[in-house]
């Protein structure tokens, strides 16, 4: 029970590993040809499938304890308000990460005039953040409590999203990539754990 947020964080860290791999391999291969980049990503996906294939059929043993289905109406007024506020914040958080996940590399390469390698580097930084973010937020949630950790995560992610509006220096782009990378899946970890505890 005490390590629930931490365990949840490990599950979501795979997102970051994928972003980190694509951010380092694609820029190297894109200079060869677009086809080689596509083939490399296909090969990586195929290899990952082969390596994990046997684990796909593992069945989790069902617990003998019975759980009654919960209804939103069964929750107290305070818990219903809390869920609505988390949903609202989560919605804005999802809107906030769109620039970094859809347009980040394109913005860095086309708008800022940097190289594909630079775009790939910042995407890899995003991936590193996404790989460690769920674990960091999980540990934070276990240490200071889920509510405080969630507030801190929303605040840090907002800083990361807003930072390129203030500066496009190398340091600002690095910090922005890292913060948004960390707290995009990190917030998923905290929200899923927090709502289950309500």
Q: Residues 134-183: pLDDT tens digits?
A: 889 988 988 998 889 999 999 999 999 999 999 999 999 999 999 999 99
Rounded CA-CA distance 163/28 in Å is 28
Q: Residues 96-109: pLDDT tens digits?
A: 888 888 899 999 99
Structure tokens given for 49:
């499938």
Structure tokens given for 6:
């931490």
The total number of residues shown for the chain amounts to 198
Give the other-Cβ count within 10 Å of 185's Cβ: 26
- pLDDT for residue 30 is more than 80: no
Q: Which of the listed ranges 3-17, 75-89, 164-178 does the model predict with the highest average pLDDT?
A: 164-178
Instruction: Considering only residues 17 and 138, tell me which one the structure prediction assigns the higher pLDDT.
Output: 138
Task: Supply the pTM of this predicted model.
Answer: 0.74
Residues 6 or more apart whose Cβ sits within 8 Å of residue 96? 157, 158, 161, 180
Quick one: pLDDT band at residue 70, thresholds 50, 70, 90?
low
What's the distance, CA 28 to chain centroid?
24
Please report the pLDDT score of residue 62 as a whole number.
60
Q: What is the mean pLDDT of the chain?
A: 83
Coil, strand or helix: which one is 180? helix
Please report the pLDDT score of residue 1 as a whole number.
47
Rounded CA-CA distance 61/40 in Å is 37
Q: Residues 36-65: pLDDT tens digits?
A: 888 888 888 899 889 888 877 766 566 555
Cα dist. 18→26, 45, 53, 137 in Å? 12, 10, 18, 19
Rounded CA-CA distance 122/140 in Å is 25
- Residues 162/107, Cβ–Cβ less than 8 Å: no
Rounded CA-CA distance 114/164 in Å is 15
């Amino acid at each position: 029970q005490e390590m629930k947020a931490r365990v949840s964080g490990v599950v979501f860290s795979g997102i970051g590993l994928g972003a980190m791999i694509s951010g380092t391999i694609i820029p190297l291969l894109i200079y060869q040809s677009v086809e080689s980049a596509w083939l490399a990503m296909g090969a990586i996906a195929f290899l990952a499938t082969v390596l994990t294939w046997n684990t796909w059929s593992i069945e989790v043993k069902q617990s003998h304890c019975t759980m009654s289905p919960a209804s939103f109406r069964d929750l107290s007024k305070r818990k219903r308000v809390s869920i609505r506020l988390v949903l609202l914040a989560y919605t804005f958080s999802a809107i906030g990460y769109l620039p970094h996940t859809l347009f980040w590399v394109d913005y860095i390469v086309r708008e800022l005039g940097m190289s594909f390698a630079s775009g790939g580097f910042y995407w890899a930084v995003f991936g590193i953040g996404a790989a460690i973010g769920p674990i960091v937020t999980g540990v934070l949630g276990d240490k200071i409590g889920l509510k405080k950790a969630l507030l801190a995560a929303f605040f840090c992610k907002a800083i990361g999203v807003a930072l390129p509006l203030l500066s496009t220096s190398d340091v600002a782009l690095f910090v922005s990539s890292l913060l948004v990378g960390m707290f995009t899946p990190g917030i998923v970890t905290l929200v899923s754990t927090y709502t289950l505890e309500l």
